[in-house]
Structure 1
Amino acid sequence: MDLLGLWDLGNDPALRKAVFQTRIPELLLRHLADPAECRIVAEAVGSLFSRGVMPRCP
């Protein structure tokens, strides 16, 4: 699944800095507790952190 280039944002040093300055990961992490949104949010977070490992959902 291509999440609007989130993987690219997490892997480009200049873009990655901007992502963290705008608190995008912080906003996404708030939704991990919601079972209905967790799977998609976990994929986005995994892409931004460029580790390929998604956080676990409740």
Structure 2
Amino acid sequence: MTDAMIAVADQPDPPRRLVLGGASYHAIRGALSARLDELEAQRQIAFSTDAPEEEST
């Protein structure tokens, strides 16, 4: 685990969050997928509130 942390820290653009372990990966992926599903469920209502675009002349 320490080797992975050092390798990531040495990267030119390291990630903000480091996921270590398969269980952690699956838990985070599941939580993020659930959040994306919730967002998609609101897509129609979200776009329905946009102001109409003006025509350019």
Shorter-normalised TM range: under 0.3
Higher RCO (C-alpha 8 Å, min separation 6) = 1
Instruction: Report the TM-score when normalising by structure 1.
Output: 0.27
Give the structure with higher Rg (CA). Answer: 2
